[in-house]
Amino acid sequence: RGIFRQGKGDWEHNQWAEESDRKREKLISSDEKSNSPEDIKKQLEYRRAYSIAGDLVTQASQKEKIVTDDLKQAVSQGTGHLEGLQYRLKGEESLARKLVEKSASKGISIEEYAGKVTDVLRYTSVSDKESLTNDFFVTEDNLGKNGYTVIEVTNTFALKNVPYKGINTLVKDKEGYVFELQFHTPQSLEVKEANHKLYEEARLAETSKEMKKKLTNQMIENASSIGVPNEIERIKDVVR
């Protein structure tokens, strides 16, 4: 769906497209052995979700080049750096699953939930704990000079008994497109990645309640080891 920039060649684009199609068919046909009305409905939901996910990824890929360049420039004014740029675009398969599962849990349509998704394009800025707070404000200021607005900030670094610590922000460009930007220290990013594996296990339907509780407690214990960045209280939660 065009996430490769010009110059990469049609072959690489086609390889990605074919792989995406294989994943789509695997996801859609995972329950095709059963033809019950419930399973047929599920298959149709996944087909619709995959189509919507493809549109969202295409839209994000069209924004990505400019946003990435502007973000690199903004972050470079401080001491931090962007980490994991290879993951800045959410995959169609992961997004399709999210659309189906989250819309069902919230009791809304896939289309309605799709309008609320803000992490198809996502970035992570990493700074040491002595500099993170200052780097946050430097990045916000420089993004503002390029027409971006930080519309939401959630700071969980100072919270206790939580499974995740970091700063999550939503940023809107001049045309109204919203993407996610997280701020981490090397330690908080390492814990986040370790806890994500535990989270994925905890969210499985076949995981028992006892195991879910055990996994959650482990995530909380892991997060409790994260050092609090200097002057982190200066970064307030914001919803604009």
User: Are the C-beta atoms of 182 and 169 separated by less than 8 Å?
Assistant: yes
Instruction: Give me the residues paired with residue 126 across strands.
Output: 81, 184
How far apart, in whole angstroms, are the C-alpha atoms of residue 96 and residue 159?
32
C-beta pairs of 84-88 under 8 Å, 24+ apart in sequence: 84/124, 85/123, 87/122, 88/64, 88/121, 88/122, 88/123
> What pTM does this model have?
0.82
- On the question of pLDDT at 124 being above 90, the answer is yes
Kind and range of the H or E run holding 134: helix 132-145
Q: What is the mean pLDDT of residues 199-206?
A: 90
**pLDDT-based confidence at residue 26 (cuts at 50, 70, 90):** low
Two tokens, residue 144 = 């503002």
Q: What is the mean pLDDT of the chain?
A: 88
Q: What is the pLDDT of residues 160-193, one digit of tens each?
A: 999 999 999 999 999 999 999 999 999 999 999 9
User: Are the C-beta atoms of 166 and 157 separated by less than 8 Å?
Assistant: yes
Q: What is the mean pLDDT of residues 200-216?
A: 93
pLDDT at site 3: 33
- On the question of pLDDT at 38 being above 50, the answer is yes
**Residue corresponding to tokens 């996944």:** 46
- On the question of pLDDT at 28 being above 80, the answer is no
pLDDT at site 37: 67
Q: What is the mean pLDDT of residues 87-101?
A: 94
C-beta pairs of 168-177 under 8 Å, 24+ apart in sequence: 170/118, 171/143, 172/148, 173/63, 173/66, 173/67, 173/147, 173/148, 174/147, 174/148, 177/59, 177/63, 177/67, 177/121
Q: What is the pLDDT of residues 2-20, one digit of tens each?
A: 333 333 333 333 333 444 4
